[in-house]
Structure 1
């Protein structure tokens, strides 16, 4: 009965951790660097020197599920943000600020910190918009898919409150040799990736490792 009371008290807009789905409608990667951080006045703000991060996202917008694999190097805590976590996707084009739409668990670890998992909407951030609603309220992953370059990912710390590192979402190719999975027929309006049951974790991990390797050598 106590557990039921806790569940009933949970906010309806809070995202739910879920298992990785068997298919994805899109995939994105972010090269997050300190020089991409924007201050509250809209001017460039110095992020943490020498730090960098890779944010990889796999989305099933039909289920409103986003899977994330975040890796930070040289970002030193403590984390700090007015939101409920300090690691976000913001609706913001390059060089501009914008509201957070999804808050992810902060990466953990010494030197190299990581965070991974999957979240299902509706989403919440803990930040209130001018109209008093949470900036995650009403947001869906189909909105992100419609304009991925209009979104950025970042993480915030006490020493670098505007952001330690930041970068824009870039579409990650799906299908073919790079991912080892087959894309749907091109006639469909959205690219869909279907993975056989039991292989999704291996295929996704291979994709993420490939992207990390490319980022580190570029």
Structure 2
């Protein structure tokens, strides 16, 4: 039975229409896939505007007052990543030379780095924009690297599991081209087991935690909040 999130279809349709305008390149949208029955690791990103690094490695301001929460669930055996992204206070049109403006970059804190995965840009009315779903590799970003290949070519989710702190989540707009908000991936314990490159947890429920939850989970060794999901 296919499992997905209730708002995924609307998000996918809306973001697909905006791909050509924001990308400036030819790109085939990464297809939505069913959520797997288990995950090998989970991560969260608390993204803020004071951590933006441009392509020259310089610190530049993001969008004042904006924040982002990126929650990722990974099954690296099947190369599937599921995402729940919430942006608050991000305004204006998305813009990026990649296929979309919302990414995981291979970049340590304070360093620039290429996007490895492009996600549908969060959408919504008012102050909050959201995006949710699951994608399966091989991943493409629509951005050509120095080697002439797409920056997602050859990328594996096991690379995130091997070094989550070496990856960052962010999003870009026309006004804040280097990034509106950005933050490093932080691993989240699953069911009391420190996962990543090994452990596994079944997906009878989605897990969603914020900044306080990350600290509580790290101290207690458990994920603190569960959020149910729809099935179709």
User: Is 1:158 paired with 2:186?
Assistant: no
Give the one of 105, 128, 135 matched to 1:112. Answer: 128
How many residues matched?
188
Q: What is the rounded CA distance, in whole Å, between the counterparts of 2:197 and 2:42 in structure 1? A: 15
Contact 2:46 2:211 (8 Å CA) reproduced: no
Q: What is the rounded CA distance, in whole Å, between the counterparts of 1:66 and 1:166 in structure 2? A: 19
Contact 2:55 2:113 (8 Å CA) reproduced: no
Contact 1:26 1:145 (8 Å CA) reproduced: yes
Q: What is the rounded CA distance, in whole Å, between the counterparts of 2:163 and 2:197 in structure 1? A: 14
Give the one of 168, 186, 210 matched to 1:170. Answer: 186
Provide the residue aligned with 2:97 in structure 1. Answer: 82
- Offset, 1:158: 0.4
Q: CA RMSD in A?
A: 2.2
Q: What is the rounded CA distance, in whole Å, between the counterparts of 2:149 and 2:122 in structure 1? A: 27
Q: Deviations over 1:122-180 (max 9, x none)?
A: 0000111111100001101011111111000000000000000000000011114xxxx
Q: What is the rounded CA distance, in whole Å, between the counterparts of 1:86 and 1:57 in structure 2? A: 17
Contact 1:14 1:123 (8 Å CA) reproduced: no
- Offset, 1:189: 6.1
Q: What is the rounded CA distance, in whole Å, between the counterparts of 1:62 and 1:131 in structure 2? A: 27
User: Is 1:101 paired with 2:116?
Assistant: yes
- Offset, 1:39: 1.9
What pairs with 1:61-80 in structure 2 (closer than 5 Å)?
61-80=76-95
- Helix, strand or coil: the match of 1:75? coil
Q: What is the rounded CA distance, in whole Å, between the counterparts of 1:24 and 1:77 in structure 2? A: 34
What pairs with 1:106-145 in structure 2 (closer than 5 Å)?
106-109=121-124, 110-145=126-161
Provide the residue aligned with 1:211 in structure 2. Answer: 210
Q: Deviations over 1:16-40 (max 9, x none)?
A: 3101111000000000000011122
Provide the residue aligned with 1:53 in structure 2. Answer: 68
Contact 1:16 1:121 (8 Å CA) reproduced: no
Contact 1:148 1:171 (8 Å CA) reproduced: yes
Change (3 A) 1:113 1:50: same
Contact 2:170 2:179 (8 Å CA) reproduced: yes
Q: What is the rounded CA distance, in whole Å, between the counterparts of 1:151 and 1:22 in structure 2? A: 25
Q: What is the rounded CA distance, in whole Å, between the counterparts of 2:197 and 2:40 in structure 1? A: 10
Change (3 A) 1:171 1:189: closer
User: Is 1:190 paired with 2:205?
Assistant: no
Q: Please list every run of 5 or more consecutive structure 2 residues that lacks an aligned counterpart in the other structure.
A: 1-25, 215-232
TM-score normalised by structure 2 residue count: 0.76
- Offset, 1:194: 1.8
Contact 1:48 1:165 (8 Å CA) reproduced: yes
Change (3 A) 1:39 1:189: closer
Q: What is the rounded CA distance, in whole Å, between the counterparts of 1:213 and 1:167 in structure 2? A: 16
Provide the residue aligned with 1:179 in structure 2. Answer: none
- Helix, strand or coil: the match of 1:145? helix
Contact 2:158 2:197 (8 Å CA) reproduced: no
